[in-house]
A and B are shown apart, each in its own frame.
Chain A
Amino acid sequence: MDADISDSAAGSVSPPDSDPARKRRAHGMLKLYYGLNEEGKPDEKESLDPCDINGPHFDPEVFLNKLRKECSLAELMDQESCMVKQIRALDSDMQTLVYENYNKFISATDTIRKMKNDFKKMEDEMDCLSTNMSAITEFSACISGTLQDQHTQITKLSGVHSLLRKLQFLFELPARLNKCLELQAYAQAVGSHRRARCVLQQYSHMPSFRGIQDDCHAIMDQLAQQLRQKFRDGGSSAKDLSDCVELLLQLDEPAEELCDKFLSHAQSRLEADLLGLEAELREPLSASVPELFVNRPQEGDLASKNIPQMANGKLHSFVDALAARYFALVERRIQEEKGVGDNSLLVRALDRFHRRLQAVSKLLPGSGVPSQGTEIVVRAARERIRQYLAALQSFYLDSLTDVRQALAAPRLSVGGAGVSGAGGLGAAVKDAAPSLPDLLASLSGSILNQIKSVLASVHLFTAKDITFSNKPYFKGEFCSEGVREGLVVSFIKFVCQSSRQFCESAGDRGGTTPPALLLLLSRLCLDYETSTISYILTLTDEQFLVQHHSPVTAVTALCSEAREAAQKLLNHYVKVQGLIISQMLRKSVETRDWVNTIEPRNVRAVMKRVVEDTTSIDVQVGFLYEEGVRKAHSSDSSKRTFSVYSSSRQQARYAPSYTPSAPMDTNLLSNIHKLFSERIDIFSPVEFNKVSVLTGIIKISLKTFLECVRLRTFGRYGLQQIQVDCHYLQMYLWRFVSDENLVHFLLDEIVGSAAHRCLDPAPMEQSVIEVICERG
């Protein structure tokens, strides 16, 4: 308290000098004064200067001399007044401090005196307390001595009490059991009985306990009866049943009998399930298959838990018998799984099925069930591959039908344009033509996509998270035999084979296949040969990591098959197109009276049609096949005259040197020409290019023309008409073929044969022919 006062007094006494710098300086000076210079180091530094008035080395003499030397009078005056002011301030500060310290000292003395008094009082009270404590200890010892007897008595009494409660439990047991029986709380009843059983057994020699025991036995028998009844009824759930079994086992019922009963119950219930499943088979719900099977291993689990070793054999046969039926059902179910839409569902179902069976195998190590299950999965996988193959094939045929329909529409417009004339033809070709490469692209693209999606679906069988994927079958045979051979290779073979069938079936009976389709397929097969097959097989091998345990079909074999098919299709295309043109030519030659025809003024319409059709075929083929190589053209291919014919006019002059008899009539030059020229195969295989295809078609057409001409007899103008027609063909056809000499040769033959078959062979002037042809 005194300190507080002194503090506040000091506060009020301190000079009202608010400038902190000054205050500090004042403190600093006081510190100096009292010799407290902890922070004296900087001071020492500056204080070396003897002129520093605040420094310790201050020399007034030096300071004064310095001032006198350096300062003017006015400055000295100022210095003096300043110094006086400072000295006064220091004086007042010092007074304040002294007063302050004095006050503090006085209050401290008072406090010490007060403390001295207080301590004395406290010493007395402490003495009093210690005497009291010793009295208390004495009393406590006395009390505990008196209470000792009573404590032991109480302990005894509580022991008796608990015993009495136990006895009460025993006496109440029959009633309690009865009540449980009423409430059907079997588990509680059995538990209670079990607890009491040993005691009752032990004290059964005492009549009262015996009575209780008998009562209990009677009740428990009744309970067991009820349990058995319930068990027999079998209507309850698997959980209930197994509870029952557990209770009965605790009641020391014969285990074997129970096992049999349990199994028979399980069987009847599973059979009901199987029947349900069978009924469900009609419904397309593959997910239900594994769901239902979930219960099965659980039950097996329970059964084996309950009846440890004894009934293993029984369980085996039980499981086997049921599993066989179950498998039969599963297989039927799988077989009904025809739709190829969602494979993942099936694979998942199979996987779950397989996994459950693995669980069974853990429970019953010796059982053949899991291996049978695996076999089912394998069979299902095989079946699946077959189905996919069938689906792929039908997809291929469907897309062919689509292509056919797509081809049918534009083909009509081509036909219409052909009738309407050359002008309309170009436009129609423009309309129809772009669809060919597009169709090819979309066809091969969709097939490839389909193959890929099928591969992806099948790939599910070998996915890592599927339990059966690490079986040896799925690692080896499934990949190589199943997917590669059974699916991919078979499909490619099917494509080739079906393509070939187009040639064989359609060949005889009027050609139902549109030629454009033949062309398209031929290109498709060729593409397969060059790239697609190896691509698909590589893809398959990569996806399935095929390890070739058994020999597989080589890529080259497939390629050659595809090439063969392509060749056959193209040949057939040439044949069909050739025959279409041939038919026109043949009709035009056969239906005309060549003897009594008028002088030719025009090229016959059929020849224009032939050229038009050839042009449109050229365009069509050009969309899918490359140009190909042709022999060099002579500079004026279209302007050539028929030298053979002109020579045949003079042949009467030849001496009959060829054969000894009769006048020379045969076309000697033609014969000599034939002798040296190569034999022409009319329906010969063509190469995969446009020129070769067109050459083939033109060859067939012109040969037909030749044969037809040879069957007719011509008048003068008939011959001239043939001349005009041939010249027209000559003008337009040479550009399509690989070797124009071929066209020349065949046309020469035609004109030559016509001249032979002519009653009055007077050929037309070449210039006139040219004029007529150029007029169109």
Chain B
Amino acid sequence: MEDDAPVIYGLEFQARALTAQTAETDAIRFLVGTQSLKFDNQIHIIDFDDENNIINKNVLLHQAGEIWHIGTSPADKCVLTTCYNKTSDCKVTGCAAVWRMPAEWESGSHESPDDSSNSPQTLELLCHLDNTAHGNMACVLWEPMGDGKRLLSLADNHVLLWDLQESSSKAVISSSATLEGKGQLKFTSGKWSPHHNCTQLATANDTAIRGWDLRSMSQIYCIDNAHGQLVRDLDFNPNKQYYLASCGDDCKVKFWDVRNIGEPVKTLEEHSHWVWSVRYNHSHDQLLLTGSSDSRVILSNMVSISSEPFGHMVDEDELSDVEDNGQEEKCKEPLQDSIIATYEEHEDSVYAVEWSSADPWLFASLSYDGRLVINRVPRALKYRILL
């Protein structure tokens, strides 16, 4: 059980941006971007040593401004993007840029961890995503499983598709789309679908979820009033191409089949405040992680709408039977969707949760006060899923 205990890491600054290092499949590594208006902002690279239960951290300076969103290249583990606020002359603008980590950050930190805090290295700017014509950047998305050359960015009411050229030193808008409508429309978040050859995008603005076809840059579906209030985050089921999870200010997590958008497939209402982040596990899509401003992280087991065949998991006491007649079990006992665990290590609102890209049983959550918590899926459940 000791092994299941959470590992906590405290940042000095407040933080909202968290991501796993997508291209890294060996080490368990998370990136956290801080938010501070007074000091230089940092990107903390957090390595988790699973065997020894130890955290190693490295800090890179991000002097451009406070970080609101962070994304890592799926192809090059040293390349990342950030969305940040630049404040100058009493004006706050949301910008985005592609960065490269300095090559020697890893070795430097290992040699003298004490020094690294005194003289952190700085990120190397590859290029700005020029947004002067399009407004504040809300987030930048990498093409899932792509070659690290294509980016999407959401800026106010624009969707911009970028091509990175000349070894990422130049970003060119290849196409764009604009959301038209009454009032000031603003994208709050988006997700690039890993399915359909990466030609689809889902975005959230206010209470609506929209789907876009990137080839024609046109809207393909729109779930109006998907949530009673603002939609905060989206995620695609990694295995079921039409399934989508969303969360929002009505404290709910909803699952959608985009072929039938009239009603959600399922609704969870476990949090007692806004849900800011929802993430499918990359390999076992019944595992769902949500983070909320009620300071809780909830891990749910949504087996009924997962790609896992029904009856694959049965109660532990029937484990032996399952192997013999799994097919029959499926009919006999439909599996219950349930909450696996509620994690209450945070003291402040949790704005981001993320699964590790290397270990599918491990995830991190970040709360506003700068606390990063790394947790594992309970071992019993892990074995039930695996066996």
Q: What is A's interface to B at a CB cutoff of 8 Å?
A: 507-511, 579, 595-596, 656, 658-666, 671, 674-675, 679, 681-684, 703, 707, 710, 713, 715, 756-759
Within 8 A of A (CB), among B45-97: 59, 85, 87, 90-92
B37 touches A759 (CB 8 A): yes
A663 touches B90 (CB 8 A): no
B229 touches A579 (CB 8 A): yes
B36 touches A665 (CB 8 A): yes
| A710–B350 CA distance with the chains assembled, in angstroms | 13
Q: Which of B42, B228, B250, B347 contacts A671, CB < 8 Å? A: B347
The 6 closest A-B pairs by CB, nearest first: A661-B117, A662-B12, A682-B273, A681-B272, A683-B272, A674-B347
Any A CB within 8 A of the CB of B124: no
| A413–B377 CA distance with the chains assembled, in angstroms | 55
- The verdict on A707 contacting B349 (CB below 8 Å), with A595-B91, A663-B12, A665-B13 known, is yes
Chain A residues within 8 Å of B295, by CB: 679
| A683–B39 CA distance with the chains assembled, in angstroms | 35
Shortest distance from the beta carbon of B223 to any chain A beta carbon, whole Å: 12
Q: Is the interface of B mostly helix, strand, loop or mixed?
A: loop
* Tier of interface size on chain B: 35 or more
A683 touches B273 (CB 8 A): yes
Shortest distance from the beta carbon of A206 to any chain B beta carbon, whole Å: 102
Q: Which of A508, A664, A666, A757 contacts B37, CB < 8 Å? A: A757
Chain A residues within 8 Å of B250, by CB: 507-508
Q: What is B's interface to A at a CB cutoff of 8 Å?
A: 10-14, 36-39, 42, 59, 85, 87, 90-92, 117, 225, 227-229, 250-252, 272-274, 293-295, 344, 347-349, 368-370
Chain A residues within 8 Å of B13, by CB: 662, 665-666
Q: Which of A659, A660, A682 contacts B294, CB < 8 Å? A: A682
Cβ-closest chain A residue relative to B263: A508
Shortest distance from the beta carbon of B355 to any chain A beta carbon, whole Å: 24
Cβ-closest chain A residue relative to B117: A661
Chain B residues within 8 Å of A656, by CB: 12
Shortest distance from the beta carbon of B112 to any chain A beta carbon, whole Å: 13
A756 touches B14 (CB 8 A): yes
Shortest distance from the beta carbon of B83 to any chain A beta carbon, whole Å: 13
- The verdict on A671 contacting B12 (CB below 8 Å), with A662-B117, A681-B272, A682-B272 known, is no
Chain B residues within 8 Å of A679, by CB: 295, 344
| A650–B344 CA distance with the chains assembled, in angstroms | 30
Chain A residues within 8 Å of B42, by CB: 662
Q: Which of B228, B272, B347 contacts A684, CB < 8 Å? A: B272
A658 touches B10 (CB 8 A): yes
| A121–B26 CA distance with the chains assembled, in angstroms | 180
Cβ-closest chain B residue relative to A757: B37
B12 touches A664 (CB 8 A): yes
Chain A residues within 8 Å of B294, by CB: 681-683
Cβ-closest chain A residue relative to B87: A759
Q: A674-B347, A759-B87 are in contact. List 18 more A-B contacts (CB 8 A).
A: A508-B228, A509-B225, A509-B228, A510-B225, A659-B10, A662-B42, A663-B12, A665-B12, A666-B13, A675-B347, A681-B272, A681-B294, A684-B272, A707-B274, A707-B293, A715-B90, A757-B37, A758-B37
B91 touches A710 (CB 8 A): no
| A682–B296 CA distance with the chains assembled, in angstroms | 12
B12 touches A508 (CB 8 A): no
- The verdict on A666 contacting B370 (CB below 8 Å), with A659-B12, A679-B295, A703-B273 known, is yes
A595 touches B370 (CB 8 A): no
Cβ-closest chain B residue relative to A576: B228
Chain B residues within 8 Å of A675, by CB: 347
Q: Which of B39, B87, B228, B272 contacts A663, CB < 8 Å? A: B39
Q: Which of B38, B117, B274 contacts A660, CB < 8 Å? A: B117
Chain A residues within 8 Å of B349, by CB: 707, 710
Chain A residues within 8 Å of B273, by CB: 682-683, 703
Interface centre among A508, A511, A579, A710 (most CB of B within 10 A): A508
Chain A residues within 8 Å of B229, by CB: 579
Chain A residues within 8 Å of B344, by CB: 679
| A754–B318 CA distance with the chains assembled, in angstroms | 55
| A336–B4 CA distance with the chains assembled, in angstroms | 68
Chain B residues within 8 Å of A509, by CB: 225, 228
| A681–B270 CA distance with the chains assembled, in angstroms | 12
Chain A residues within 8 Å of B14, by CB: 666, 756
Cβ-closest chain B residue relative to A715: B90
| A170–B90 CA distance with the chains assembled, in angstroms | 143
Cβ-closest chain A residue relative to B68: A711
Shortest distance from the beta carbon of A754 to any chain B beta carbon, whole Å: 11
Cβ-closest chain B residue relative to A583: B229
| A511–B250 CA distance with the chains assembled, in angstroms | 12
Chain B residues within 8 Å of A671, by CB: 347, 369
Cβ-closest chain B residue relative to A671: B369
> 12 interchain pairs (CB within 8 A)?
A508-B228, A511-B228, A579-B228, A595-B92, A596-B91, A659-B11, A662-B39, A666-B13, A683-B273, A710-B368, A756-B14, A759-B90
